[in-house]
């Protein structure tokens, strides 16, 4: 998870008006059997690489929709801002999401996370030289280290999750005919593909090219992994599965405004019938308020209903 602070959106401005603590709504699902056997022993991860400990409404929706779709799986939100000494300031988002019995907030310590991984040398060198490290680059590194160490699922916070993801194994989503995207990743621990991604991250590190350590890295490593020149030449190989674009990126980033267009409710089911989740392209859509009856608003009402209700009270 990363939230690049280009400007203060209406969403972020209103977050500061929310109460610091909440009484858990009755609409929150009760505790389920967390000892229930699940393939996702590593859990599902969200990451906040900045020092902020407040969450936007979109981040709350992402976590709520994921928690509701996976009642028997631990949802872990790792936040750098929780690693400081002393008493932490309370925030609405943490208080609200902690009402879900399968959601937990944990400190994100870069040193500990990257230790004993191929990324450790890169991070130590960058930190010692005070090299510019932006939030997206750190997020790209964190997701690889987490999945390599513990396995599980990584998600960006500009998702709305529609279905349970537990049956997906060692998988990446296709963003387009030419590019893979790491906003969703699921891998078993110590997977060789993730190890190769970390090694490529270090060997070909470039701060100056956006996406070089993210989508472009995954795309070039997968091509090498499968010995292909074009993504369309191979959908899966050597135990790594590439999911079709519809699975997580049904709307192209160039068409992000579609989320704010009014749509007939009867069309919703067909529109996302092959989707596990919907990526909202936060880099483009941040600062936009949902429109009543829009695609986004209907998704929020159905998949993160409590967050949706709170949003309508404050936006």
| Per-residue pLDDT tens digits for 216-273 | 999 999 999 999 999 887 788 999 999 999 999 999 999 999 999 999 988 888 889 9
Instruction: Characterize the bridge pairing of strands 236-237 and 180-187.
Output: unpaired
Q: Phi/psi of residue 177, each to 5°?
A: -65, -20
Cα dihedral 251/257/259/261 (nearest 10): -130
Separation in Å, CA 272 to CA 84, 165, 242, 265, 308: 41, 15, 18, 12, 19
User: What's the average model confidence in pLDDT over 276-280?
Assistant: 97
Q: From 208, 139, 164, select the one nearest 66 (Cα to Cα).
A: 164
Q: What is the pLDDT of residue 89?
A: 65
**Pick from 38-42, 50-54, 78-82, 202-206: least confident:** 38-42
| Per-residue pLDDT tens digits for 12-70 | 656 666 777 788 888 888 766 655 545 567 899 999 999 988 899 999 999 999 999 99
Three-state SS sequence of the chain: CCCCCCCCCHHHHHHCCCCCCCCCCCCCCCCCCCCCCCCCCCCEEEEECCCCCCCCHHHHHHHHHHHHHCCCCCEEEEEHHHCCCCCCCCCHHHHHHCCCCCEEEEECCHHHHHCCCCCHHHHHHHHHCCCCCCHHHHHHHHHHHHHHHHCEEEECCCEEECCCCCCCCCEEEECCCCCEEEEEEEECCCCHHHHHHHHHHHHCCCCCCCCCCCHHHHHHHHHHHHCCCCHHHCCEECCEEEECHHHHCCCCHHHHHHHHCECCHHHHHHHCCCCCEEECCHHHHCCCCCCCCEHHHHHHHHHCHHHHHHHHHHC
The span from the CA of 300 to the CA of 230, in Å, is 36
pTM summary value: 0.91
CATH architecture of 10-247: Alpha-Beta Complex (3.90)
């Amino acid at each position: 998870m990363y939230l690049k602070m280009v400007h203060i959106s209406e969403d972020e401005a209103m977050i500061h008006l929310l109460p610091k603590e909440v009484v858990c709504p009755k609409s929150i699902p009760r505790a389920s059997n967390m000892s229930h056997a699940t393939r996702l022993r590593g859990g599902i991860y969200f990451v906040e690489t900045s020092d902020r400990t407040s969450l936007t409404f979109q981040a709350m929706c992402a976590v709520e929709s994921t928690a509701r779709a996976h009642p028997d799986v631990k949802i872990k939100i790792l936040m750098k801002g929780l690693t400081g000494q002393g008493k932490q300031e309370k925030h609405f988002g943490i208080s609200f999401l902690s009402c879900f019995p399968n959601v937990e907030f944990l400190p994100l310590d870069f040193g500990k996370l990257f230790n004993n991984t191929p990324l450790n040398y890169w991070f130590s060198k960058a930190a010692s030289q005070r090299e510019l490290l932006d939030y997206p680059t750190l997020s790209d590194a964190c997701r690889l280290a987490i999945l390599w160490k513990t396995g599980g699922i990584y998600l960006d916070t500009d998702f709305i999750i529609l279905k349970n993801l537990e049956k997906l194994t060692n998988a990446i989503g296709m963003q387009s005919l030419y590019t893979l995207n790491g906003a969703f990743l699921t891998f078993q621990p110590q997977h060789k593909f993730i190890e190769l991604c970390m090694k490529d991250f270090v060997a070909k590190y470039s701060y100056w090219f956006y996406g070089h350590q993210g989508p472009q890295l995954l795309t070039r490593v997968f091509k090498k992994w499968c010995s292909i020149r074009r993504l369309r030449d191979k959908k899966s190989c050597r135990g790594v599965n590439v999911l079709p674009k519809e699975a997580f990126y049904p709307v192209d980033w160039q068409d992000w405004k579609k989320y704010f267009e009014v749509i007939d409710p009867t069309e919703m089911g067909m529109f996302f019938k092959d989707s596990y989740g919907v990526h909202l392209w936060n880099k483009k859509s941040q600062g936009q308020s949902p429109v009543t009856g829009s695609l986004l608003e209907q998704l929020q009402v159905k998949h993160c209903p409590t967050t949706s209700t709170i949003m309508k009270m404050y936006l």
